[in-house]
Each structure stands twice: as C-alpha cells, then as structure tokens.
C-alpha cells in the first residue's frame, strides 16, 4: 500500500487511504522506500545534504553540554546550554519520535569585493538568510509527512535540538577540531536543521570517521585562542559569541575583533576540507560588509531592520552599535571627519554603555579631546581607568 502511495501520492490523499495505511507497521523495504522518497524530495527543494538519525536521546551531546557547562566553558551563553536534557531529547520536541531528518544547506559563497567606504565585516553565515532556504526545503518534507498521516515538526536555527549532533548521528560528517561539523566532501560552511517525526524511517547506522588527522590550523588561527583543545571552545574567548553577548565587551579581546561586527570565520577560513572542497557560488544578494558610519547614524528601527536575521540579544540595537564602535577604533582614521563626528557624538551619548566603548575607540585613535575627564556612571568610570594605547598603523 505504501509503495503505491509513493507512486501516486495525490491519488492516495484524495481518496484518504494514507492514514489507514500508516496504521500498519512498515516493512523494512517500505521504510527504505519512504525514507528515500523524503530524501529525494528535500534535495529537489534546495537542500544540499540530507541524512536520517535515530530520534533517541543524544547521550554524548548531553554529557558534553553538562560537563562544559559545569566548568563555565559556555560563559553566559544559553541556546542549547539552557536545558541540555531537553535539547538532546528529540522526543521532548515530538512525542514518540522515531527519526530526525537532518538537512544541510551550504553558505559557501565567493567573497565579494570589499567596498571602498569604511566597512565592518560580517561572518559568512549571515551574508544572507541561508536558514530560509533550509527551512523551506525541510518544510516541504514536513508537510509531506503530515499529509501522509505522521506527526512532524521542523527545527531550524532553534534551541530545541543540538543540530550538530543530529547531523553527526545522521552520518553527514564529523566534528572538526574547531567544533564545527565538517560535511564529508564539502567542509563546514553549512547551516543545519532537522525534521523530527514519528514516522519509522530507516536511520543511519554508520558514523563518519574523523577526517582532521594531525591538522591543527584552526587552533593556530583563532585570534583569541578560544579553541582550548581540539573540539573544545571557551565561549568567553570566542569572538562569534562575544559580539552577541550583552554587556561590556571584554577589553582583552577588542583589538582581536579587528573589523568584525558580527561573527568570526577564522577557524573555518583555514580549514583544508572547507577551503578545498566547499561548494562555492557567485555572490548574489549577499552582504559581507556593512557601512560603519551609516549604521551608527541609523535610528533604532532602521538599524534593527538592517540586521534582521542577526541574533541580537533582546533585539537591542545598543549591542550592534557597541560592536561598530569597537571596529571604528580598530580600523577608523582620526583624519576622517565622519569618524571624528561619530566618536564625538557617542562619547557624550546618554547611554553609558555606548559612551564607554566610544571612549575606548577615541583613545585608540588618539582623539583624546572627545574623552571626558570624569563620569558618574561606573561602566564609564571603569573605561576611563583602562584607556588603551594609541593604535599604530
């Protein structure tokens, strides 16, 4: 019955026989046919890689999250660390879950030319909304499952599941020493997501062997030494987290931020499998850089609209401005009138957090005329006590 429905799904749905067919157990052959049908469907709708993992508790990931959380390696990061027991249990997302259909969409795009205006760098995964393509493709798979009488739910860019572990269990790749999932024959420039379902699909039974060997380029290239050992990240040092973390940006890592306003690709840009094997496309409608001075002059609503798909804590534009001000101190020129005007404006800004970071940048650029002699706010006072040296070059 199932095979016939796969051949003529519209006929099956029209006459309402799929639900009754699904009340009977799948044979191994039927399950394999249905699994392949769903995989082919996802690939046809823009997903680059698909695998199927068992929807059992991801015990290894659970133990890892608890262990790293216990020693503070997560810093204040939440996401899947918030509730490890939930984020490693697919059954908590979909009752009686049997399988996770894991999809991966590449965001490996040739780097566009750098603009001539003063600009800040954006991490590659945020050049466009790559999750939208993945969400759409997995959505088609989900609707097919539901139409066929199964319960299914999409989880893309969501804290309900540890997506890298799901992809690993689905046989899509291995964990690199930079803690990213390296997809076999393609590298790590992928966004990941899953469909959790109670359909009894054929799941992967063979994990991908480590492909890193003795290579440790990612460890050597990290600008803050955040990869404390192979596969282990100290979030308190990781720029990709620090640009998202609310509060005062750690002074010890501001210079290392360089021109980055959102994310960091350093450990992936040097990864041999990613560099050699990554799927590359010509850049279209991507935004690899953002104009610093223009964004600093935006009103709140305009600024947040311009960074729509970025994760911004509490959707507070202050954190975007904070990052932009640090970048301004790292790459701006004191001879640039626009830079001087921005520094002057934010050194007297009513928000102490922004005053503090503008003061840091003013000192870096030698614009001490804009630095106040004193301030009543403790955040700014602390900044005045720890002014950086003048930037050289």
Q: Please report, for residues 186, 260, 366, the alpha-carbon distance to residue 315 in angstroms, rounded to integers and kept in the order given.
A: 33, 19, 32
Q: Is residue 157 flagged as an active site residue?
A: yes
Are 109 and 56 spatial neighbours (Cβ–Cβ below 8 Å)? no
Q: List 182's β-bridge partners, or say none.
A: 174
State in Å, rounded, how far the first CA of the chain is from the last one: 72
Are 188 and 275 spatial neighbours (Cβ–Cβ below 8 Å)? no
Contacts of 85 (CB under 8 A, 6+ apart): 62
Burial of 187 (0-12, 13-18, 19+ CB in 10 A): buried
Torsion of CA 331, 337, 342, 344, to 10 degrees: 110
Pairing of strands 152-156, 289-291: unpaired
Question: Helix H segments across the chain?
Answer: 2-7, 9-14, 18-22, 28-44, 59-70, 84-87, 90-93, 130-147, 163-169, 217-221, 239-242, 254-257, 266-269, 272-277, 292-296, 300-306, 318-331, 337-347, 352-365, 378-385
Fill in the DSSP letter of residue 201: P
Per the residue annotation, which of 157, 259, 269, 336 is the catalytic one?
157
Q: What share of the chain is helix, strand, coil (3-state, %, to 5)?
A: 45, 15, 40
Instruction: Catalogue the active-site residues.
Output: 157
């Amino acid at each position: 019955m199932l095979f016939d429905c796969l051949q003529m799904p519209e006929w099956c749905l029209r006459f309402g026989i799929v639900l009754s067919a699904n009340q009977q157990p799948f044979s191994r052959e039927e399950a394999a046919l249905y699994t392949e049908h769903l995989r082919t469907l996802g690939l046809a709708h823009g997903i680059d890689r698909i695998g199927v993992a068992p929807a059992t508790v991801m015990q290894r990931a659970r133990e890892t999250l608890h262990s790293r959380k216990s020693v503070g390696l997560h810093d204040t990061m939440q996401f899947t660390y918030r509730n490890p027991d939930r984020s490693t249990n697919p059954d908590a997302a979909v009752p009686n879950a049997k399988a996770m259909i894991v999809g991966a969409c590449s965001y490996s795009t040739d780097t566009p030319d750098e603009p001539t205006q003063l600009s800040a760098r954006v991490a590659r995964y945020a050049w466009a909304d790559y999750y939208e393509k993945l969400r759409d493709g997995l959505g088609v798979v989900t609707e097919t499952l539901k139409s066929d009488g199964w319960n299914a739910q999409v989880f893309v860019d969501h804290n309900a599941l540890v997506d890298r572990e799901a992809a690993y269990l689905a046989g899509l790749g291995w964990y690199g020493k930079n803690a990213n999932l390296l997809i076999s024959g393609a590298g790590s420039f992928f966004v990941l997501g899953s469909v959790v379902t109670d359909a009894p699909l054929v799941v992967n039974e063979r994990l991908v062997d480590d492909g890193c060997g003795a290579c440790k380029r990612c460890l050597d290239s990290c600008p803050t030494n955040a990869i404390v050992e192979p596969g282990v990240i100290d979030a308190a040092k990781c720029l990709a987290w620090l640009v998202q973390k609310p509060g005062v940006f750690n002074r010890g890592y501001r210079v290392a931020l360089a021109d980055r306003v959102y994310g960091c690709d350093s450990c992936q840009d040097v990864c041999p499998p990613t560099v050699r094997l990554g799927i590359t496309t010509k850049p279209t409608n991507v935004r690899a850089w953002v104009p610093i001075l223009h964004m600093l002059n935006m009103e709140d609503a305009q600024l947040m609209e311009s960074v729509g798909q970025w994760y911004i804590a509490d959707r507070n534009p202050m954190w975007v401005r904070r990052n932009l001000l640090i970048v301004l101190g790292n790459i701006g020129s004191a001879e640039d009138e626009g830079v001087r005007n921005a520094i002057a404006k934010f050194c007297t800004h009513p928000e102490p957090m922004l005053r503090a970071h503008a003061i840091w940048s003013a000192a870096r650029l030698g614009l001490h005329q804009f630095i106040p002699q004193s301030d009543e706010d403790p955040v700014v006072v602390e900044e005045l006590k720890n002014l950086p040296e003048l930037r050289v070059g």
